Amino acid sequence: MFQCVFSSSVLQPHSTSCLFKHLFHHSATPASQKQPEPIYSKKTEIQRQTVRAPFAKLFIFSALQVARQLLLQQQQQQQVSGLKSPKRNDKQPALQVPVSVAMMTPQVITPQQMQQILQQQVLSPQQLQVLLQQQQALMLQQQQLQEFYKKQQEQLQLQLLQQQHAGKQPKEQQQVATQQLAFQQQLLQMQQLQQQHLLSLQRQGLLTIQPGQPALPLQPLAQGMIPTELQQLWKEVTSAHTAEETTGNNHSSLDLTTTCVSSSAPSKTSLIMNPHASTNGQLSVHTPKRESLSHEEHPHSHPLYGHGVCKWPGCEAVCEDFQSFLKHLNSEHALDDRSTAQCRVQMQVVQQLELQLAKDKERLQAMMTHLHVKSTEPKAAPQPLNLVSSVTLSKSASEASPQSLPHTPTTPTAPLTPVTQGPSVITTTSMHTVGPIRRRYSDKYNVPISSDIAQNQEFYKNAEVRPPFTYASLIRQAILESPEKQLTLNEIYNWFTRMFAYFRRNAATWKNAVRHNLSLHKCFVRVENVKGAVWTVDEVEFQKRRPQKISGNPSLIKNMQSSHAYCTPLNAALQASMAENSIPLYTTASMGNPTLGNLASAIREELNGAMEHTNSNESDSSPGRSPMQAVHPVHVKEEPLDPEEAEGPLSLVTTANHSPDFDHDRDYEDEPVNEDME
DNA sequence: GTACATCTAAACACAC
DNA sequence: CGTGTGTTTAGATGTA
């Protein structure tokens, strides 16, 4: 339909939009690249490199946009001129209007539109090439139109002569006359258009030679804008920028093809989204141009001047002082097309940054909102915490935990530090081992072990996670959990496998370890029974182990001991502290909350050890007993003290495992543990 | 660096 | 003799 007159092109796009695409194709194809490359000066070459890329994509928008407008105006003009639509003409006999539609192609570019195109001050060489090619096509088509017009005239005259002789076809004659009139109109329009086009090009310095010349020298930047246009542009730039700032509008970028179409076109409405336009960002991001307008208000803090260098994008000219900078600014960055183009690019960069900032702000807000919600959420479930625990966390975590309890009544350096940090509490929530035990709870924390096991029973049963306790502690726990506080070796085995999935593997290893521990530690006493030998726990011996751990601040311990009711205030202080800090780590909601009990028992454990070594001459204080019990000592080796009993009312730990029905422990003796688990 | 605790592995003894 | 139980030793590792 629309014949492309591009050199060596035989393509015939069907519509104006197709034509534009086609033309754009020319600008991108090697064939088009064969066109004479524009000659750049050294300066303009740099500008070309810095300015061309961002607008290469822009051209697609502008071309399509213009094409749409052209399509509309083409239809309007056709209605005005009484011409048939291209579609209809397409199917009409060639005799009717064979090239009328083809002639429409250049003419549909109205002067305003052409001006609009031309007023894209910043044009890539491809764009300019396309425009000039269009111009060439226009002129070529004009010549063709003129030729066709002559032919039509001749034909018409011929037909008129024939009609005069034959008196036929008055209708066709009339039609041809109408078409002729339309052609004349189109021709006039085209001539006007061409004139304007050329004028515009010349005005912008793009066209320095006579039209019709095959190779036109191109310049990367449109130049020679008239002052009114520039002023309008400045208005656009500044108003658009301020509008962006004040309204917080998130337009990604300005489509530069539309920002300065006309003075009546508001910048706001001419904003279109163009997310690709500013992705190239070759120009460094600096201050908006509009700030330069107000530099006089802040003479020595000009945003375009810093460290003796002009900060105009791409300039970096050295200016010794502010005055020279001003001179430089006025001379080198005057109100010309180049500055305008750079300003436009800068505008785009700024807008893109603003968009990015808005997005990041939104993201930040979402993150904060999310975290805020999270922080107010209930405490984490204890079981999942177990899954993330590790061996290395065990002791080091417990040692670092005082920081998480800053309001504990004891000082970090005090011997009670491990007490207040509540290693067992840490244990219950955050310390669990996976893999070989290299770090584990000290045995002095064995009481909280029971709590931990009770809390995380299901977890240990199902997850192959090595419990963070020593074999000795586990053996003791197993024995203490038994109703008679005594177990056979096999019962101990069963307890291990029943309580911990981890011990369902490598039986040879850990069983050997159990035996080794039973034999090695004095705290485990073998008692001959009717049924055979059973193992019991000598709590005194058990508490004796590694007493040096309790070494520390004796005075504090003594003070603690001197207080008969120290456990209660201490526990209260802990409660207050935890409540104050609302430490979710210490809460195990799903399992009941033995935290306080853990802490209390841990404290007692710690104090037991402390008293044992710092106040051993205190006859009434039976080692291995809780301070409470120390007041009422009950030393019966054959009936090892159950530490959890010592917790007394302070303990929130459920004692379900000590219920009489737990004597079915023996049921596990000869049964596979896995079945027991089920 | 040392002592201690713990774990692992292994050897050994003994009873069933 | 094999297995289970118990003891002991040795080495490695971690902690105080």
Q: What is the mean pLDDT of residues A559-585?
A: 33
Q: Residues near A525 by Cβ (< 8 Å), separated by ≥ 6?
A: A535, A536, A537, A538, A637
What pLDDT does residue A531 have? 72
Q: Is the shortest CB-to-strand distance from A635 to strand B under 7 Å? A: no
Q: Is the CB of A244 under 7 A from strand B?
A: no
- Give the H or E element holding residue A71: helix A42-81
Evaluate if the CB of A488 falls below 7 Å from strand C. Answer: yes
Q: What is the pLDDT of residues A578-587, one digit of tens each?
A: 332 333 333 2
Q: pLDDT tens digits, residue range A10-19?
A: 333 333 333 3
Residues A198-230 have pLDDT tens digits of 444 444 443 333 333 333 333 333 333 343 444
Rounded to whole angstroms, how far apart are CA atoms A455 and A651? 13
Give the relative orientation of helices A595-614 and A554-562 as an angle to the nearest 10 degrees: 110
Distances, alpha carbon A610 to alpha carbons A511, A551, A552, A561, A617, in Å: 33, 7, 9, 9, 12
Q: Which of A200, A591, A606 is nearest to A443 (CA)?
A: A606
Answer for A545: CB within 7 Å of strand B.
Answer: yes
The larger pLDDT score, comparing residue A115 to residue A532, is at A532
CA distances from A68 to A71, A73, A107, A175, A264 (A): 5, 9, 14, 30, 20
As a rounded value in angstroms, the CA-to-C1' distance for A434 and C10 is 26
pLDDT grade, residue A326 (50/70/90)? confident
| Cα distances (angstroms) measured from residue A101 to each of A84, A197, A564 | 9, 21, 109
Q: A70 CB contacts (<8 Å, ≥6 apart)?
A: A16, A108, A109, A110, A113
Q: Would you state the pLDDT for residue A515?
A: 93
pLDDT-derived band of residue A373, with 50, 70 and 90 as boundaries?
low
Q: Is pLDDT of A454 > 90? A: no
Is pTM, for the whole model, over 0.75?
no
> Does the CB of A489 sit below 7 A from strand C?
yes
CA of A422 to C1' of C16 (A): 19
Instruction: Provide the CA A392 to C1' C14 distance, Å, integer.
Output: 11
Identify residue A479 by its one-letter amino acid code: I
Q: What DSSP element (H or E) covers A305? A: strand A305-306
Gap between the Cα atoms of A48 and A96, Å rounded: 48
Nearest CA to A445 among A430, A423, A472? A423
Is A496 near strand B, with its CB below 7 A from some atom of it?
no
Give me Rg for the CA atoms of chain A.
46
Spatial distance from the CA of A495 to the C1' of C13 (Å): 27
How does residue A182 score in pLDDT terms, banded at 50, 70 and 90? low
Q: Is the CB of A454 under 7 A from strand B?
A: no
Does the pLDDT of residue A468 top 60, yes or no? yes
Q: What confidence score (pLDDT) does residue A569 get?
A: 32
Residue A36 has pLDDT above 80, yes or no: no
- Which of chain A's residues 386-405 bind strand C, using a 7 Å CB cutoff? 392, 395-396, 399
Helices A423-430 and A446-455: angle between axes, nearest 10 degrees: 30
Region A298-306: mean pLDDT is 70
Summarised one tens digit per residue, pLDDT across range A496-546 is 998 898 898 888 889 999 999 999 988 888 888 777 888 998 888 887 765
Question: Binning pLDDT at 50, 70 and 90, where does residue A306 land?
Answer: confident
pLDDT higher than threshold 60 for residue A72 = no
Q: Tell me, in Å, how far CA of A520 is from C1' of C9? A: 11
What pLDDT is stored for residue A572 in this prediction? 34
Q: How far is the CA of A512 from the C1' of C1 (A)?
A: 22
A232 touches strand B (CB under 7 A): no
- A579 burial via Cβ count (<10 Å: 0-12, 13-18, 19+): exposed
Q: Which two tokens stand for residue A127?
A: 């764009």
Query: Does A522 contact strand C, using a CB cutoff of 7 Å?
Result: no
| Chain C positions with a protein C-beta closer than 7 Å | 4-10, 13-16
Residues 22-51 of A with CB under 7 A from strand C: none
Nucleotide nearest to A515 (CA to C1'): C6
Query: What does the pLDDT look like over A96-114, one tens digit per residue?
Result: 333 333 333 333 444 444 4
A666 in contact with nucleic chain C (CB within 7 A): no
Scanning residues 468 through 487 of protein chain A, those with a beta carbon under 7 Å from any atom of strand B turn out to be 469-473
Evaluate if the CB of A168 falls below 7 Å from strand C. Answer: no
DSSP A609-674: HHHHHHSTT-TT--TTS-HHHHHS----TTS---HHHHHGGG-----GGGSGGGGGGGGGTTS-HH
Instruction: Answer with the residue of higher pLDDT: A307 or A171.
Output: A307
d(CA A476, C1' B13) / Å: 26
Name the nucleotide nearest A472; use CA and C1'. Answer: B6
Residue A179 CA distance to nucleotide B9 C1' (Å): 109
Write the DSSP symbol of residue A549. Answer: G
* CA A518 – CA A535 distance, rounded (Å): 8
For residue A571, the model assigns a pLDDT of: 37
pLDDT band at A359 (very low <50, low <70, confident <90, very high): confident
Q: Which residues are bridge partners to A525 per DSSP?
A: A536
Q: Strand B closer than 7 Å to the CB of A613?
A: no
Average pLDDT over residues A282-307: 50
C1'-nearest nucleotide to the CA of A520: C7
A504 CA to C1 C1' in angstroms comes to 28
Among residues A361, A447, A425, A427, the alpha carbon closest in space to that of A599 is found at A425
Q: What is the DSSP letter of A15?
A: S
The per-residue pLDDT of chain A, averaged, comes to: 49
Strand B nucleotides, any atom under 7 Å from protein beta carbons: they are: 4-11
Rounded CA-CA distance A604/A643 in Å is 9
Number of neighbouring beta carbons within 10 Å of residue A484: 13
The dihedral over CA atoms of A621, A624, A625, A631, expressed in degrees to the nearest 10, equals: 0
